[in-house]
Amino acid sequence: MIGLFILAGVLSSTTACGPTKVLIDGREMSPEDAAAYLLAEGRKAQEAGDLANAKSDYKEVYERFPESARAADALAELGAIYLDESGCKGALYYYERLARDYASSPRAGSAKEVMGRCQAEGDGKSGALVQLENQYLQSGNDAEKKEVASKAADAAMEAGEFGQAADWLLKVRSLERDDASKRAVEAEILELIDAKVTFQDVRSLLETAKSDFPAEALTYKLGRIQYHIRDLANAKSTLESLLSTWPSSSYLAGAKSMLELIEARSKVVPGKIGVLVPISGKLKAYGENALQAVKLASGQMNAAKPDTRFEFVVRDSKGDPAAAAQAVQDFVTVDGVVAVFGALFRVEAESAATKAQELGVPLLSLTAAEDITETGPFVFRNGLTSSAQMDALVEYAMDVLGMKRFSILYPKHPYGEAMLHLFWDRVEARRGEVSGVESYGANDTTFTGPVKRLVGRSRLDLRSDYRLAKRECEKQPDSYRKARCVRELDASIKPIVDFDGLFIPDYPRSLALITPALAAEDIVVERDERYIRRIERTLGRTVKPVTLLGASGWNSNELPEKAGRYVENAIFIDGFFADSESKEVRSFVDAFRREFKRTPGLPEAQFYDAARLMKEVVLKEMPTTREAMRQALRKVHDFPGVTGKTSLVESNEAKRKVSVLTIKEGRIIEAPPPSEQAPSVPATPAGAPPAG
């Protein structure tokens, strides 16, 4: 079996010259056309309110195509977005870069105007600094100047003007005669440079630096900034200048490390793919299960002659953010991989994504973390998010089953509350209605109270039909008959079932206790005419069936085993269904059971699909650079995965059709596919009238 181990040696690399044509979203075009296309896509996303994708597209324009005439436009658009979002501090970097690097652009003038306004606002906020500057100029001796400069530094710090604070502290340092005091001032300046000053501040301070201190620290900070914004050519030049000017620099190790990372970005072993999984620590079992799926996907478990065109290299995330980031770095600097996949858990995915974007290596994350692809254009996701689940659930409920009105019963913990809002938003977006919402405690074991509130049986005195019937009881001839009439009324009052579907974002353990409480309040989930007639005879009235709705947590055989017919006909979502009739799924499940003597779940299916997808892209496109691999991933369309057909042509967020499941006769099965026309579901209750 090839590649399923951690490599230790530095491997050979290949490099490629800059292309005259580039691939953008699966299409070949000139760099200028590519920049124009990305700019247009960014503007479309911005108009649609999708600022994350807009920013990603604009950044790609100026990072990949700095020579294009569109780069200035992209910087201007980014400046405007960040100005709206976070004010001058967020926008200044983009306007400064536009004014500096594209001074001849028509957009540079407006950028300078914004910079001027921002500067004026800053000056207005720290007007005391103007007075102190005048005092400094009028001071008669060094002692007075030092005192004023020290006050000005404090005022600038308080105003958040850290560049000005550093400049004033440099004046204090130049006037300080005591060595110990001078060293204390220098330490304060270095702290500001390291953690506080902006890109503009660094450049400004460097222009006025008259000695090694603080020029050395400023040069290192400039190189760090250039590296982190992926201005790699300038970062390399700046860091090399640092090492040649100050060969014994205290920043030697950091500068060399960044230069090695810059160099490593161009070293790629085509066909080598990183697999990021926890193979130690608390999440070890998940990693071991995932690797079984990867081994199966490689197609080389029983191969007589391994395919040497690709190789999977495994590194341990340990289920830890720092370890995951280091693993991604080692994939690039030691193994030379062309891409990485894995990062199933949020705890590892976010740091892995940040490092992958920093190093320019494509990462196909399998996490459900909603915002992971906003990290940058090198971060992809093929995980099942809560948003995707709710999109599919509400679409099926409303478009296929014809539901219009819903109620929600949710647990008071972060997951339940998040799903509540996601579901509600999607119902309203489709012009549906949420008629009732009730909650219960995360550790509750009885649910009579919230269920009664949901159907209007907790405060009967608030219902007009109950008050009217109770007045009839008062007409009874004696107190005994009156009391008996009220008791019978309390027991027989109809529930207000004014909803077609009831959404419960929970898991089998709680659902097995909740669903009998629903039945006790006459919320009927049966669709079988035999059961409905029996229920109607018992209640002495007609009933309106309700469909229970859930998320992926419902997909467990434990649920119908424990809840029985109380969950019959429920509809829920998952990213993988092992008993699917799909040819791809059957083949995968049978092979997995044969090799590993167990049934695979969603994590194994996700790793299986990711490994096969990466292998197919590598063998089909043969990318020799990580950028080419990134572009090749964006060409993936309707990849036949066991978790559904997968596409990445629209965005770094995989689009695929998730499994819609239901329960019939105590078995979880796939829900019927959409019919040409959704059935009509009455929107009004078949019980008592609304409370009044």
pLDDT, tens only, 253-272? 999 999 988 888 878 999 99
Binned at pLDDT 50, 70 and 90, residue 188 comes out as: very high
Binned at pLDDT 50, 70 and 90, residue 603 comes out as: very high
> Residue 426: pLDDT above 80?
yes
Q: Answer yes or no: are the C-beta atoms of 65 and 35 closer than 8 Å.
A: yes
Residues linked to residue 81 through DSSP beta bridges, in sequence order: none
Burial of 482 per CB tally in 10 Å (0-12, 13-18, 19+): middle
The per-residue pLDDT for 130 is 66
H/E stretch holding 574 reads strand 571-574
Greater model confidence, 26 or 544: 544
List the Cα angle 186/191/193 in 5-degree steps.
Answer: 95
**For 97-124, what is the mean pLDDT?**
77
Binned at pLDDT 50, 70 and 90, residue 541 comes out as: confident
Lowest mean pLDDT among 2-6, 93-97, 387-391, 547-551: 2-6
The per-residue pLDDT for 597 is 96
> Residue 13: pLDDT above 50?
no
- What does the block give as tokens for 655? 């689009």
Q: Answer yes or no: are the C-beta atoms of 110 and 213 closer than 8 Å.
A: no
Binned at pLDDT 50, 70 and 90, residue 25 comes out as: low
Burial of 590 per CB tally in 10 Å (0-12, 13-18, 19+): exposed
Q: Answer yes or no: are the C-beta atoms of 398 and 542 closer than 8 Å.
A: no
Pairing between β-strand 655-656 and β-strand 644-647 as defined by DSSP bridges: antiparallel
**For 139-165, what is the mean pLDDT?**
85
- Cα separation, 237 vs 245, in Å, equals 12
Q: What values do phi and psi take at 603, rounded to 5?
A: -60, -45
Mean pLDDT, the chain, as a whole number?
86
CA gyration radius for the chain?
32
Greater model confidence, 565 or 53: 565
The per-residue pLDDT for 125 is 42
The interaxial angle of helices 602-621 and 626-633, nearest 10 deg, is: 120
**For 666-677, what is the mean pLDDT?**
79
The per-residue pLDDT for 394 is 97
> Residue 319: pLDDT above 70?
yes
> Residue 618: pLDDT above 80?
yes
- Cα separation, 479 vs 498, in Å, equals 35
Q: What values do phi and psi take at 581, rounded to 5?
A: -85, -5
The per-residue pLDDT for 682 is 46
- Distances in Å between the Cα of 640 and the Cα atoms of 337, 491, 582, 594, 646 are 25, 55, 10, 22, 7
The per-residue pLDDT for 121 is 62
The per-residue pLDDT for 248 is 93
The per-residue pLDDT for 336 is 94
> Residue 627: pLDDT above 60?
yes
> Residue 386: pLDDT above 80?
yes
* Structure letter (DSSP) for residue 51: H
- What does the block give as tokens for 25? 């979203």
Model pLDDT for residues 337-382, shown as the tens digit of each residue: 999 999 999 989 999 999 999 899 999 999 988 889 988 899 999 9
Model pLDDT for residues 460-514, shown as the tens digit of each residue: 777 777 777 778 888 888 888 878 887 876 777 788 888 999 999 999 999 999 9
Residues in the chain, overall count: 692
pLDDT above 90 covers what percent of the chain?
Answer: 51
Q: Answer yes or no: are the C-beta atoms of 379 and 352 closer than 8 Å.
A: no
Q: Answer yes or no: are the C-beta atoms of 106 and 70 closer than 8 Å.
A: no
Residues linked to residue 311 through DSSP beta bridges, in sequence order: 272
Bond prior to 516 in cis (omega within 30° of 0): no
The per-residue pLDDT for 50 is 82
The per-residue pLDDT for 129 is 64
The per-residue pLDDT for 19 is 46
Helices within 410-528 (DSSP H only)? 414-429, 448-454, 464-473, 479-492, 508-520
The per-residue pLDDT for 282 is 92
**For 429-446, what is the mean pLDDT?**
93
Greater model confidence, 120 or 651: 651
- Of 485, 491, 481, nearest to 470 by C-alpha is 485
Percentage helix, strand, coil for the chain under 3-state DSSP, each rounded to 5 = 55, 10, 35
pLDDT above 70 covers what percent of the chain?
Answer: 91
**Best mean pLDDT range from 143-147, 171-175, 228-232, 339-343:** 339-343
**For 522-541, what is the mean pLDDT?**
84
The per-residue pLDDT for 686 is 40
Tokens 């009885």 map to which residue? 446
- Cα separation, 617 vs 629, in Å, equals 8
- Cα separation, 618 vs 625, in Å, equals 11
Binned at pLDDT 50, 70 and 90, residue 23 comes out as: low
- Cα separation, 214 vs 550, in Å, equals 60
**For 118-141, what is the mean pLDDT?**
66
> Residue 298: pLDDT above 50?
yes
- Of 497, 355, 528, 506, nearest to 442 by C-alpha is 506
**For 117-133, what is the mean pLDDT?**
62
List the Cα angle 177/181/183 in 5-degree steps.
Answer: 105
The per-residue pLDDT for 4 is 45
Q: Answer yes or no: are the C-beta atoms of 111 and 79 closer than 8 Å.
A: yes
> Residue 1: pLDDT above 70?
no
**For 314-321, what is the mean pLDDT?**
95
The per-residue pLDDT for 460 is 72
The per-residue pLDDT for 626 is 92
> Residue 66: pLDDT above 90?
no
